[in-house]
Copies of this chain bind each other. A is one copy, B any other.
Amino acid sequence: MPKTPPTRTLSTIELFSDLDEAERKRIEGRCRWRIFRPGERILESGTETREVSFLVHGSASALNYSLSGREIGFATFSAGDYFGELSAIDAQPRSASIVATEECLVASLSGEEFLDLLRQRVEVTFKVFQRLATMVRASDVRIMELSTLAASARVYSELLRMAKPEPAVPGQWVIHPLPPLREIASRASTTRETVNRAITQLYPTGLILRKGRNLYVTDKAKLQLIIKELQHTGKGRG
């Protein structure tokens, strides 16, 4: 496989989209640029670094491990995203580890310089506000799901979140590539066996369809209904 080294630019980072090119280039120069191979740790939970990192190329996930070695997934990042704001803002240790899932090009800015940017550029400030708000809401949804949904319902919910609209067939959604079930399990806080059984149970309904590393969701609305019926308690009366 030929290696095409991705260009070292921050132009694809949405957070900086309102800055003029001069300023962006200035920041690019202040960054520490690194490449990570799939599986490598970009950031270690609990460490005291304050850098904010921009994912220019590749994809990564935020996760943590329980004492017993169980892996809990928190978020996934793709090109254009950033992480590490929390520690820059509150000067606390990193709340999660970040692991590269594909080859990654990462630009890291010191926490100080990130804070300067927040102070000087209101547009950036508000984008970060927006992002933190999104994070809080996403966490709250997850807490609700963990507290009220049965394991298989959480898996379905995760599938819906991963699915993206298929341009070719309107109304159809795809997950491509379907990640290892172990990874889905870590995001739904269950085991890969349960993920497998949950998906298997869904085949007969025709709501999902698997072709190689693609998984098609043919009827989002109906799947949503099934999730509701799998409420942890009352066998499905609202």
A interface list, Cβ under 8 A from B: 64, 66-70, 72, 74, 85-86, 89-90, 92, 95-96, 118-119, 122, 125-126, 128-130, 132-137, 139-140, 142-144, 146-148, 189, 228, 231-234, 237-238
Contact = CB atoms under 8 A, between A and B. Distances in A.
Nearest to A62: B140
Contacts of A74: 140, 143
* Copies of this polypeptide in the complex: 2
Contact of A86 (B67, B69, B136, B231): B136
Given A68-B148, A74-B143, A238-B67, A133 B90 contact: yes
Interface of A, secondary structure class, is helix
A129 B128 CA distance: 9
A157 to B, nearest CB: 13
Contacts of A89: 126, 129-130, 133
A72 to B, nearest CB: 5
A122 B85 CA distance: 17
Contact of A143 (B68, B118, B143): B143
Contacts of A69: 233-234
Name, among A86, A228, A238, the residue most crowded by chain B CB atoms within 10 Å (CB to CB): A86
Contacts of A119: 122
Contact of A140 (B85, B125, B139, B232): B139
A168 B133 CA distance: 40
9 contacts: A66-B148, A68-B233, A70-B233, A90-B133, A132-B133, A136-B136, A139-B143, A142-B143, A143-B189
